[in-house]
Structure 1
Amino acid sequence: MPPRSRRERPAKPALSREGIVATAVRLMDTDGLQRVTMRRLAQELDTGPASLYVYVRNTAELHAAVLDELLGAVDLRPARASGDWRDRLVDVLSSYTDVLLAHPGLAQSALVARPSGRNYLNLLEALLALLHEGGVPDDQAAWGIDLLLQTATATAAEHSVRRGEPGAEDEESALVEALRTASGRTHPRLAALGSDLVSGTGPERRRWAFHVLINGTLHTSRRGNRS
């Protein structure tokens, strides 16, 4: 069959930022975030890379937009619920962590991505509202959410890297065994706490870490730590 002329081909959908980001999300889910480049995206959209730069300046901005799109899955309902404000704040942070854990490549990119879309702003608003509800001074809350999100993001990124490495489970088992069998003569504190150092589930340890940071944000004045 002879190839159809350009006039006979179906018209391509008009390019838009929303369509570009949606296509990038789909590619990420099938090929991984590392494959989501401007060139690969242009190929998928049957256009030239130069056409995409009208809507997205570079790959970093594209990844930030993808992150913002997926942040729509973060459960923000605890911010509007009742109950202890700390527990509800941890629930939101845990949901954010779970979203990143579901997309390993995105978790690593989120360490440096700078989203500025609606979903990211909604997340920040929810966190700030809960900190305000708990009586955290505004200046401490403003710095505190950065630390809370950094911890959640780093946790997800670390797990995503470790999960993809061959031999990661063997390395983890070797570390656990070394800690649990440490000599009381040469490493008395390790021997005393060896089992407890590796106790608890991942979610339990994450929630505890969030509570530590929340309490620190509440009780640590910015003014008292100026050099």
Structure 2
Amino acid sequence: MFVSLGGMDEPRSRRERPAKEALTRRGIVAAAVDVMRAEGLDRVTMRRLAKELDTGPASLYVYFRNTAQLHAAVLDELLGAVDLAPVDADGDWRERLEAVLASYTLVLFEYPSLAQSAVTARPTGANYLRLVESILALLDEGGVPPGQASWGIDLLLQLATSTAAEHAGGDDPEAWDALAAVLRAVKPETYPRIAALGEDLLSGAGPDRSSWGIRALINGVLATPRPEGETT
């Protein structure tokens, strides 16, 4: 096929398709985040991403061993939104640590399917490492021995992650009402302690209860030495 350009005939390729961008790990993760935001984490598969990136699934396995590893990379990318400013702020170290963990939980709240995946995900990227380093810095500031800090950080992140995962699908008011009705109806002679506490067992749902749980864990990590022979 030829077209006239200033009296000259120049050949034009029949395949006027722009060259594809080179595949990179960063580009794959960015595409995965876009798919997750638009369609949910369940749709972030090698096949779906290959279609999005106009390549074959085999090309993605060069960068990610499996879908779980890809999801962990997506989690790490989003952890960049966690507010770590409290680490260098003034004030009580416990309150600042609580603020960092609360920010982490809120990031997961924003992406319900990711919150559930985060329970078992094992991110290894720079954002995750910055989060861990920040928590360890605050525990160190509070005088938590290194051995207790290295075990305690796991518990603190587990609590924050499970809190987000528990509410990932949204709370069902009818289910809570049904549980409250059961607690009100228990017989004191059969379940004396449940009857005494009643609906207080369900009280404080939301930020207040989560905040209390984090503070309880922080204090426990500070006060509980590791077993003898397991110290650092």
Q: Scaled by the length of structure 1, what TM-score is found?
A: 0.91
Instruction: Please name the residue that 1:7 is paired with.
Output: 15
In 2, Cα distance between equivalents of 1:191 and 1:113:
39
Instruction: Please name the residue that 1:131 is paired with.
Output: 139
1:190 aligned to 2:194? yes
Deviation of the 1:201 alpha carbon? 3.4
1:144 aligned to 2:152? yes
| 1:43-122 correspondence to structure 2 within 5 Å | 43-122=51-130
Deviates more, 1:135-144 or 1:46-55: 46-55
Write out per-residue CA displacement over residues 146-175 of structure 1, whole angstroms, 9 at most, x where no aligned residue.
0111111111111114x28xxx33122100
Are the aligned partners of 1:107 and 1:160 in contact in 2 as well (CA < 8 Å)? yes
In 1, Cα distance between equivalents of 2:182 and 2:228:
40
Deviation of the 1:224 alpha carbon? 4.6
Q: 2:180 aligns with which of 158, 176, 182?
A: 176
Write out per-residue CA displacement over residues 112-149 of structure 1, whole angstroms, 9 at most, x where no aligned residue.
11111110000001100000000000000000000111
User: Helix, strand or coil for the counterpart of 1:190?
Assistant: helix
Deviates more, 1:41-50 or 1:173-182: 173-182
What letter matches 1:72 in structure 2?
A: G
Residue segments in structure 2 that go unaligned for 5+ positions in a row: 1-11
Instruction: Please name the residue that 1:25 is paired with.
Output: 33
1:211 aligned to 2:219? no
Structure 1 215/54 Cα, relative in aligned 2: closer, same or farther at 3 Å? same
What letter matches 2:197 in structure 1?
A: L
What letter matches 1:185 in structure 2?
A: E
Deviation of the 1:186 alpha carbon? 2.8
The structure with the largest alpha-carbon Rg is 2
In 1, Cα distance between equivalents of 2:52 and 2:90:
46
What letter matches 1:174 in structure 2?
A: A
Deviation of the 1:60 alpha carbon? 1.2
Deviation of the 1:5 alpha carbon? 7.1
In 2, Cα distance between equivalents of 1:203 and 1:196:
16
Residue segments in structure 1 that go unaligned for 5+ positions in a row: none
Write out per-residue CA displacement over residues 32-71 of structure 1, whole angstroms, 9 at most, x where no aligned residue.
1011000100001111111112222221111010000000
Instruction: Please name the residue that 2:224 is paired with.
Output: 220
Count residues with an aligned counterpart.
219
Deviation of the 1:195 alpha carbon? 2.4
Write out per-residue CA displacement over residues 65-124 of structure 1, whole angstroms, 9 at most, x where no aligned residue.
000000001111111111111111111111111111111111111111111111000000
In 2, Cα distance between equivalents of 1:225 and 1:181:
49
In 2, Cα distance between equivalents of 1:49 and 1:14:
15
In 1, Cα distance between equivalents of 2:66 and 2:82:
26
In 2, Cα distance between equivalents of 1:140 and 1:6:
67
Deviation of the 1:7 alpha carbon? 2.9
Deviates more, 1:151-160 or 1:130-139: 151-160
Instruction: Please name the residue that 2:5 is paired with.
Output: none
Structure 1 189/41 Cα, relative in aligned 2: closer, same or farther at 3 Å? same
Are the aligned partners of 1:181 and 1:194 in contact in 2 as well (CA < 8 Å)? no
In 2, Cα distance between equivalents of 1:113 and 1:104:
14
Where do 4+ consecutive residues of structure 1 move more than 4 Å? none
Structure 1 225/193 Cα, relative in aligned 2: closer, same or farther at 3 Å? farther
Instruction: Please name the residue that 2:45 is paired with.
Output: 37
Identity rate, percent: 65
